[in-house]
Amino acid sequence: MQIIQTTTSLAPEFGGPARSVPALSLELARLGNQVTVLSLDFGRSAGQDDLPTHPNLDYVSVAVHLKIGLRPLLVPDFNSTLQKLIAGKKELIIHDNGIWLPYSGVIHRVARESKVPLITSIRGMLEPWALKYGRMRKLAAWYLFQKKRLEANAVLHATSRQEAANLRALGLGTPIALLPNGTTVPDMGKVEDLKHNGKKTLLFLSRIHPKKGLLNLVSAVSELRPAGWRVVLAGYDEGGYWDIIHNAIKQAGVEEYFTYLGPVSDREKWPWYKLADLFILPSYSENFGLVVAESLASGTPVITTRGTPWEDLIDYNCGWWVEPDVPELTASLQEAFSLGEDELKKMGQNGRRLIKEKYSWPVIAARMEGVYRWILNRDSQPPEVII
C-alpha cells in the first residue's frame, strides 16, 4: 500500500503525535508499505535527527516561517505538495492526524476530488475537556464544516472506548477504528544510568499545561510532604503556565520537593524513566497518554486519572487509576509512597508485560494495516472497526 500520514509538526514541543506518527509510520514501512509523512514545521526545529528511518519511509516538510496566527496563508503550499505526493499512486490511503487546522480542509478536498480514502485520528481534540477551550469558535466551526468533513471520512480513529463513545455522542456515524497508540519497548540495560541523589523520584514528563492537572499535584504534595521523595517535572512550558505552577509551589511552601527540568529530548527521557521510582500524569483529559505507556515500558509504575484510558493499570496491577481531583490523587500517592522498593519494582515489571502484550508498535501497526486493507476492500472487516 501507499500511505500518506499528515500531521502538524514533528517538533517535540507539539506533543504526542510528533512521536506517535513517525513510530507508526516506521512499523508500517517495515511491513512492506510505502509511507510518506507530510508535516508543517512553523519554522521550528523538527528534530529530524531523531526521526526513525527506513527505505520505505520518507519525510516531506512544507517549510514555514510565519507566525502561527497566519496559518491560513500556508494552505496553497500544502495543497501543491499534497497533490504532487498523490499523483500517479494507486492503492493509496491518506491518514490525517488531528482536526481544526486550516490544512485539514485541503486534505479533505484533495482526498474527495482524487477519490483517495481518508482516515482521521481525532487525537483527543473532540473530548469534552478539549471542547471547552475556544468553545464558541469550535462550535461555529463544527456546524459550518468540521462535522461534515469527519462524516466524509472512510474511518475515524479513536484511541480509547471513551473517545469512541464521545464521537458517537456528537452525532458522528462514520465507522470508527478503535486502536490505542503504541510505544517503544526499550532495552533498559542499554539506557544510561543517571546519578541518584539519595531520594526516590516521582516523575512527571509532559507539557506544562492546564489540562495536565499539575495544580492538583502541588496540593497533594503539600498535604503529604513525603519524606525521602522528590518530584521532578519535565516538559515544554506552554503559554508560560510554568509561572503559575511555580507560584503555587512557592505559596504552598514545598519548593524543596520540586525540580523543573524544562523540556527533555526523546533521547534524554529514557534515563529519567529509568531513574524514576514512580510516574504521575494527573491530567483531566487524555485520548491516550503516550507518556504512561513509555513509563510502563521502562518498568516504572504509574499514577494517572480516569481522564485517561488506562484502566489496564488496575487489571495488570501496575499502577493507580483515580479521579482527577486532589483527594483521590493524595490517597493514591500516600499508598504509593508507603510501598517498599521491591513492591514498586514488581508493579513495574507488570507494566512492562502489559506494554509488550498490548501496546508495542509492531502489534499496533499490524492492526492499523488491517484497517487500511479493509478500507481498500482488500480484507474483511477487522475487529478494531466499529460500524
Summarize pLDDT for 15-37 with one digit per residue, the tens.
778 888 999 999 999 999 999 99
Q: What is the mean pLDDT of residues 284-307?
A: 94
* Separation CA 206–CA 263 (nearest Å): 9
Closest of 284, 290, 298 to residue 348, by C-alpha: 298
**pLDDT value for 76:** 60
Q: What is the mean pLDDT of residues 86-91?
A: 91
* Separation CA 197–CA 230 (nearest Å): 10
Q: Range with the lowest mean pLDDT among 300-304, 345-349, 377-381?
A: 377-381
Q: What is the mean pLDDT of residues 180-193?
A: 90
Q: What is the pLDDT of residues 216-236, one digit of tens each?
A: 999 999 999 999 999 999 999
**pLDDT value for 213:** 97
The phi and psi torsions of 152 (rounded to 5 degrees) equal: -85, -5
pLDDT at 199 over 90: yes
**pLDDT value for 67:** 45
pTM of the predicted structure, to 2 decimals? 0.78
**pLDDT value for 75:** 54
Q: What is the pLDDT of residues 111-133, one digit of tens each?
A: 999 999 999 999 888 988 888 87
Task: Centre a 10 Å sphere on the Cβ of residue 79 and count the other Cβ atoms it contains.
Answer: 17
Q: What is the pLDDT of residues 242-277, one digit of tens each?
A: 999 999 999 999 999 999 999 998 889 999 999 999
Q: Range with the lowest mean pLDDT among 6-10, 119-123, 238-242?
A: 6-10
Q: In what order do the strands lie in the sheet with 155-158?
A: 57-62, 34-40, 2-7, 92-97, 118-121, 155-158, 176-178, 385-386
Q: What is the mean pLDDT of residues 155-165?
A: 93
Residue 138 amino acid letter: K
- Band (pLDDT 50/70/90 cuts) for residue 135 is confident
Q: Which residue has the cell 500516600?
A: 334
- Band (pLDDT 50/70/90 cuts) for residue 44 is very low
pLDDT at 48 over 70: no
Structural domains in the chain, sorted by start: 2-182+360-386 (3.40.50.2000), 188-358 (3.40.50.2000)
**pLDDT value for 266:** 82
CA 292 vs. chain centroid, Å, equals 10
Task: Centre a 10 Å sphere on the Cβ of residue 161 and count the other Cβ atoms it contains.
Answer: 13
Q: What is the mean pLDDT of residues 168-187?
A: 93
Rounded to whole angstroms, what are the CA distances from 16 to 21, 207, 353? 8, 10, 22
pLDDT at 375 over 60: yes
- Band (pLDDT 50/70/90 cuts) for residue 63 is low
pLDDT at 68 over 80: no
Closest of 208, 173, 196 to residue 13, by C-alpha: 208
**pLDDT value for 197:** 82
**pLDDT value for 41:** 67
pLDDT at 303 over 50: yes
pLDDT, the chain, mean: 90
Q: What is the mean pLDDT of residues 173-201?
A: 91
Q: What is the pLDDT of residues 93-111, one digit of tens each?
A: 999 998 887 688 889 999 9
Long-range contacts of 137-142 (CB under 8 A, 24+ apart): 138/100, 141/100
pLDDT at 70 over 90: no
pLDDT at 291 over 90: yes
